[in-house]
Chains A and B, each alone.
Chain A
């Protein structure tokens, strides 16, 4: 079966750095996505990785290792507005998105 695992909840301090991990087992691989979802709102696209390595976009970076079935989202210089759920999703061989359950990130002052 297809499976994506991420921690349920994480807590970090404003100004710090946090890494949210995602491991996956899917039927094929056509890219991995990270989305941010604030409470009561729709998910918004953050990043995409299809090749191994690090993709950096401002305060957010995403890393992928296809051989390990592993990705992480790195958030630097945390702000209170970063409090949200972060969803990992993998596009499988049928170009269908398989979603993780999401990681709720709580930022404390």
Chain B
């Protein structure tokens, strides 16, 4: 299994500002996924970050709002731009496992509160 760390673990931000979340993996992976989990709800995929190419965004998510960087095979960032209270959520990065099941391993998450 992969070991994944995220920074920051939590933050409280003002409306209209931006926050960049970092995700570091202890091994090289081709794909990294960014999810949002709003309170009491399940996971929603924001985008897939591939090294060396533009991220692929899911319906309802756009690059201007959630720009992603993927400078190498072990690191990615997600920026939540021009934040509003509706962006308050847990943001999780995940990577596919190297085992037989293609299961995903998740980072500990970043708990974001926007005032």
Contacts and interface: CB of A to CB of B under 8 A. Distances in A.
B45 A96 contact: yes
Interface of B: 41-45, 92, 97, 101-109, 111
Contacts of A43: 43, 92, 106
Given A31-B101, A42-B92, A48-B101, A97 B45 contact: yes
Nearest 8 Cβ contacts at the A-B interface: A42-B106, A48-B101, A45-B103, A101-B42, A99-B42, A99-B43, A102-B42, A42-B108
Chain A's interface size range is 10 to 19
A21 B75 CA distance: 36
Given A41-B108, A45-B103, 19 more contacts: A31-B101, A42-B92, A42-B106, A42-B107, A42-B109, A43-B92, A44-B106, A45-B97, A45-B104, A48-B103, A87-B43, A89-B43, A96-B45, A97-B45, A99-B43, A99-B44, A100-B42, A101-B41, A102-B42
B42 A95 contact: no
A45 B94 CA distance: 12
A87 B107 CA distance: 16
Determine which residue in B41, B43, B104 has the highest number of CB atoms from chain A within 10 A of its CB, and name it.
B43
A91 interface: yes
Nearest to A8: B40
Nearest to B35: A99
A5 B33 CA distance: 23
B103 A33 contact: yes
Interface in A33-53: 33, 40-45, 48
B25 to A, nearest CB: 13
Given A42-B92, A42-B108, A42-B109, A31 B102 contact: yes
Contacts of A42: 92, 106-109
A42 to B, nearest CB: 4
